[in-house]
Structure 1
Amino acid sequence: MIRPGLTFKLSILLACIGVLASGATGYYAYRANRTMLVKEAAHSLLTSTELLGQRFSESIDDVGADALVLASLPSSAEIASTDDGSRANPSRERLAQVYSSFMIHHAEYLQIRLISRAHYGLELIRFDRDADGLMRVEGGNLQEKGQFPYVFEPLAFSPGRIYTSPMSVNHEYGAHAAQGKPTLRVGTPVANAQGAVVGVVVIDVDLAGLLKRLQSDLPSDYQVYLANEWGDFLVHPDTSKTFGFDRGRRVLMQDSFAVTKPLFEQKESEVLVNGLARPRQAQGQVLAFMRRPFGASGGNRFIVIGLGKPLEDVLSGAHLLGGSIIRMVLISSVLALFLAILFARALTKPLHILAYAATHLFAEHAMETLPLKRTDEIGVLARCFDRLRREIRSQMDALHVKQRELVHLATHDVLTGLPNRMLFMEKLERAIQEATRRREGLAVLFVDLDRFKQINDQFGHSVGDKVLVAVARRLKQVLHSADVVARLGGDEFIVLIEGPRSAEAAPGIASRIMDTLNEEIVMDGQSMTVGASIGISQFPDDSGTAEELLLNADAAMYAAKSGGRCAYLRYHDVLEARRGEQVQRVEAVHAQAGEGATEGHEAEPTA
């Protein structure tokens, strides 16, 4: 009986070590990846929960701001003080149009009402939303609401305070589309000139619609939970568990998720839990909950917002990694056996040389040690490796050249060689950041050629292309080396001037540009003059963003072109001109109204 030799035993030993090492590493990597994915998902959920809570608070604040705007209208106080809703009132109709516009522009508003303090809280202006859209309630259909908390509580407030009602299901009679919907009411008192509260403005918000809008950009597999300060579910993936107190069966968040109890006891402000570490408390889920204050008038009121994600979705990447690890372990096992055999056959040295060369692929000194002169398989492998290295280097060099060409083509205008719009906007955004950091300004000049279309039509597109090249060359000659000029497209160019000199230098540069473009250009024996109209916008006076600076410069250019070509205008001057025109129109309207009133007074004695 022939016993296995040392070579065989050493090969088996090294192969087993390699298999065990790769298997243990794969298993550890799989477990570590699962933990990392769950932690990342929990952190992402917490961030999304914070963002959702912030958006919810900001949305409620926006509703309160709208209520303050309506309450601060002088006509609101006048109508709440003097009107009883029984007679036609032109002032009430004009005010009703304002209320209607708020309903039109806020789809989540179910009702907007102006309620008088007198007449038992009579509704004077009321707009409802029904199945057909916006609906105004008038005349005998107006109701007395003085007995409701959202009326008598805001009436006790000082002007400017905001009342926020508890979130509940609307069961009021005649509420139209709001009937049976989860509703949040926001109100504020209406005060007259003496500061006395004469009424209240109440806005009913569709809570479900508001939350749907706020969570519209959340991933589709996120589950949203919302509870009031007592723990009653207001939002739950299972709608049968929401607003249980309205149906006589309370479903509490702290009962469904025990980890949220510290939130309702106000011992903690946020809670994270996952089904991987605590399967009993979050079965098959990753959950994040956060407590946020709610309502400015309710004292210690708050809501609890939560987001959940199925653990299976979170670990889907880990499952894919597990399959890859199994394949890697199998490959590593085969490789370990192969290396063990090679080691046993005294081939360790050339293999080390090849390994060193592989880890220093482009190092010339590593290639010099390769056993290229050997005639066996090691020599063949070494020569193939050397050829492969040379081919890879050659292809990489060619690839880098192509990449640089593609980058240049993607960021520069093919005809003029100037930066295109994409590259210019990147430079402009970086310039804005730098100017903000240094507290400096910059200017954007929008240059539009005045007679380029006539040149194209008269001499053809080939001549037009040569003219554009000549214009680009002249612009670069006029500008400072630090300035940036780009072609947006067609006959439009854009110039960026940076630094403290931008505010004073921009008009002078615009004048030099117009002068150089008003000089004759000779193309193919034909003399022509291009001319240009220029609009100037400045940072930070005209705008703080790249897009708005470009749009404002464009607007100033069009104003310059409409006022007469071959001119430049600053956007600030355009705004001043528009304000002057508005003041003149208002003064003309006032003058006409005064003349009409004078004629009425003169005709009254005759009647």
Structure 2
Amino acid sequence: MKWGLATRLGSVLALVSLLMAGMTGLYAFQVARDLLVQATKDELMTATQVVGRRIRDVHLDASRDLHMLSRHPASLALLQNPSPQQATQADQLATLFELIMAANPGYFQIRLISASDSGLERVRVDRDGQQLLRIEGDDLQEKGHYPYVSDTLQMPAGSTYQSRTVINHERGAHAGLGQPTVLLASPVVNARGQTLGVIVINIDLKGAFSRLAADLPAEFQLYLANRDGDFLIHPDNTRTFGFDTGRRVLLQDEFPATRDLVARRVDQLVFEADSGEHATEPVIATFTANRARSDNPDAAGFLGLAQPRSNVLQRSHALGLTILQIASVLGLVGFALALLLARWVTRPLNTMSNAVARFSIGHPILGLPLTRQDEIGQLARSFEQMQQQIHQQFTELQANRQELEHLARHDPLTGLPNRRLFIERLDNALARAKRTQTQLAVMFIDMDHFKAINDQWGHEAGDAALQWVAQRLLEHTRETDTVARLGGDEFVVLLDNQVQAEQLALVAQKLIDSMREPWFFNGHLCQIQLSMGISLYPQNGDTADALLNSADNAMYRVKTASRNNFGFAPEG
């Protein structure tokens, strides 16, 4: 049997086209796979940074509670000379502890500890399951020999002590006993600069990270290690807190690539772990250094997220099948058409091959004969479908990254800007005000009797009340103003246009009056009132912290005096 020229040319062209299709398909598949892996690394790093920021926000919120309690008049009074009112003051302070712990389920314990009497606990509230217990009388213990007391007593006013993460073995710790915990403490200092005692908050580490992990995709694995690399959080709970039982389970042993991170030579890492313990199930991981936010270097550590590499590669399987189908169709079509018009077939195949070879996410496939109603057109449309699939996958990855960034800057309940975004906007507004020598104002708002709503109708009512208040505040402020939720039942408003005190008084009264609108929850009429403190730039400070503290103090004076009112911070 003799092979004719058309048959030979058709066979050669079919083999060449199949080879070209295979090579270009393999190249496209490899590019898409590499881009998927890189996008996953970027997503993991973004998620790790978001989790790190949320951890810092938890620390900032706890520090703020500490500083508020350390400056509270009842704390000072209880640690000074005995008086007949101390029992009442202790009750008031215990009630305040309970309110803060009710608003912060991640707190195991809040204590006021005296610098005298060997560090005797003066007021203490513990969490026990769903209950809050006030510890009194002979159950109060002496804690002067613990570092979080002795070290904090040596710190200046306004400082925050952070312990290293440990398993709580303190007797009578209730829910916190035997659990991972971090202790934050702040000194209580009187007007003469004498340190009278400390306020201590025990934070539930495991619960805090469980809440953070709930917001992450299910396939993400969360890791936390201390400054020496000992695992504190690990997908396998048996590998955590090994040092508490006399063994060491280290980050740098499981992930050798993190040795430079533990040695402080780098601040963050992105890598693929495919050896040792992860040889059978490789993962893509990111780790960042979590710097200590206190004077205690033991509080530093390392935060990481990992995702099985197989999950990432599964996304490329459908793409690989499509590319295989395209390569097969290309060979068959090339062979059939080459028998008839070899030159007519060769030209579009070369065009398509060159177009696919130049393919990338940012450069779409151009010049494909999509309008042809034959096999070449079908092949071109298949290539376009492949491009659309890749583009859709990367669009979804980008949307997930943007959603994570939005969560890091907004309150998930009300949708308002959170503390981080508000501070950024306030810093920008202060920079403009300093440059143009104009005035701005900060309103610090707290809901009155918010705990009563939670106690009477439950936390669903409390959440609905927070959302209703947020909506009223947005409706009665300008679009140029910033309304944010700092946490709990506290809101803040930034007015960065030129405003006078008389105008501010009208705005404040309008916001308070807006709460008189009837609001119902499950058919019950609920009354909501606000207490508000107002600070001005430059009269009450020239930094974000100074303005917030001035407005906060002004709000507490309103709460103490009358509630459901507003007041201005005095000029400093």
Q: So what's the TM-score if we normalise by structure 1? A: 0.59
Residue in structure 2 matched with residue 141 of structure 1 by the alignment: 139
Residue in structure 2 matched with residue 463 of structure 1 by the alignment: none
- In the TM superposition, residue 578 of structure 1 has moved relative to its aligned partner by 8.6
Residue in structure 2 matched with residue 237 of structure 1 by the alignment: 235
1:81 aligns with 2:80: yes
- Mapped to 2, the partners of 1:358 and 1:34 lie a distance apart of 23
Residue in structure 1 matched with residue 50 of structure 2 by the alignment: 51
Residue in structure 2 matched with residue 540 of structure 1 by the alignment: 480
- In the TM superposition, residue 295 of structure 1 has moved relative to its aligned partner by 3.4
Residue in structure 1 matched with residue 338 of structure 2 by the alignment: 340
Q: Is the 8 A contact 2:165 2:299 kept in 1?
A: no
Which structure has the bigger radius of gyration? 1
SS in 1 for 2:214: coil
User: What letter matches 1:191 in structure 2?
Assistant: V
- In the TM superposition, residue 347 of structure 1 has moved relative to its aligned partner by 6.6
Residue in structure 2 matched with residue 32 of structure 1 by the alignment: 31
Residue in structure 2 matched with residue 408 of structure 1 by the alignment: none
- Mapped to 1, the partners of 2:123 and 2:276 lie a distance apart of 54
> Which residue of 87, 95, 98 corresponds with 2:96?
98
Residue in structure 2 matched with residue 220 of structure 1 by the alignment: 218
The percent identity for this pair of structures is 33
Higher relative contact order (CA 8 A, sep 6+): 2
The RMSD of aligned alpha carbons is 3.8
1:295 aligns with 2:293: yes
- Mapped to 1, the partners of 2:243 and 2:35 lie a distance apart of 40
User: What letter matches 1:329 in structure 2?
Assistant: A
Change (3 A) 1:274 1:299: closer
- In the TM superposition, residue 131 of structure 1 has moved relative to its aligned partner by 2.3
- Mapped to 1, the partners of 2:346 and 2:99 lie a distance apart of 85
Q: Is the 8 A contact 1:274 1:282 kept in 2?
A: no
SS in 2 for 1:215: helix
Q: 1:262-411 maps to which residues of 2 (within 5 A)?
A: 262-275=260-273, 279=275, 283=279, 284-299=282-297, 302-344=300-342, 359=369
SS in 1 for 2:36: helix
- Mapped to 1, the partners of 2:509 and 2:244 lie a distance apart of 61
Change (3 A) 1:181 1:351: closer
Q: Is the 8 A contact 1:114 1:199 kept in 2?
A: yes
- Mapped to 2, the partners of 1:124 and 1:542 lie a distance apart of 41
SS in 1 for 2:341: helix
Change (3 A) 1:185 1:322: same
- In the TM superposition, residue 321 of structure 1 has moved relative to its aligned partner by 1.4
Q: Is the 8 A contact 2:77 2:86 kept in 1?
A: no
Structure 1 residue runs of 5 or longer lacking an equivalent are 362-369, 371-380, 386-435, 440-534, 546-551, 553-569, 592-607
Change (3 A) 1:573 1:125: closer
Q: Is the 8 A contact 2:6 2:340 kept in 1?
A: no
Residue in structure 2 matched with residue 158 of structure 1 by the alignment: 156
Q: Is the 8 A contact 2:164 2:299 kept in 1?
A: no
Change (3 A) 1:331 1:350: closer
Residue in structure 2 matched with residue 22 of structure 1 by the alignment: 21
Q: Is the 8 A contact 1:185 1:203 kept in 2?
A: yes
- In the TM superposition, residue 536 of structure 1 has moved relative to its aligned partner by 6.9
- In the TM superposition, residue 262 of structure 1 has moved relative to its aligned partner by 0.4
User: What letter matches 1:72 in structure 2?
Assistant: R
> Which residue of 184, 195, 200 corresponds with 1:186?
184
User: What letter matches 1:169 in structure 2?
Assistant: I
Residue in structure 2 matched with residue 562 of structure 1 by the alignment: none
Q: Is the 8 A contact 2:163 2:298 kept in 1?
A: no
- Mapped to 2, the partners of 1:90 and 1:314 lie a distance apart of 61
- Mapped to 1, the partners of 2:225 and 2:48 lie a distance apart of 13
- Mapped to 2, the partners of 1:148 and 1:137 lie a distance apart of 19
SS in 2 for 1:129: strand
SS in 2 for 1:89: helix
- Mapped to 1, the partners of 2:347 and 2:43 lie a distance apart of 50
- In the TM superposition, residue 359 of structure 1 has moved relative to its aligned partner by 4.1
Q: 1:66-77 maps to which residues of 2 (within 5 A)?
A: 66-77=65-76
- In the TM superposition, residue 575 of structure 1 has moved relative to its aligned partner by 4.1
SS in 1 for 2:80: helix
- Mapped to 2, the partners of 1:117 and 1:149 lie a distance apart of 13
| Paired residue total | 394
- Mapped to 1, the partners of 2:144 and 2:269 lie a distance apart of 41
Q: So what's the TM-score if we normalise by structure 2? A: 0.62
- Mapped to 2, the partners of 1:577 and 1:197 lie a distance apart of 43
- Mapped to 1, the partners of 2:45 and 2:249 lie a distance apart of 24
User: What letter matches 1:107 in structure 2?
Assistant: P
Residue in structure 2 matched with residue 12 of structure 1 by the alignment: 11
Residue in structure 2 matched with residue 208 of structure 1 by the alignment: 206
Residue in structure 1 matched with residue 64 of structure 2 by the alignment: 65
> Which residue of 569, 574, 583 corresponds with 2:510?
574
- Mapped to 2, the partners of 1:347 and 1:201 lie a distance apart of 85
Q: Is the 8 A contact 1:542 1:572 kept in 2?
A: no
- Mapped to 1, the partners of 2:44 and 2:232 lie a distance apart of 19
- In the TM superposition, residue 56 of structure 1 has moved relative to its aligned partner by 1.1
Change (3 A) 1:282 1:33: farther
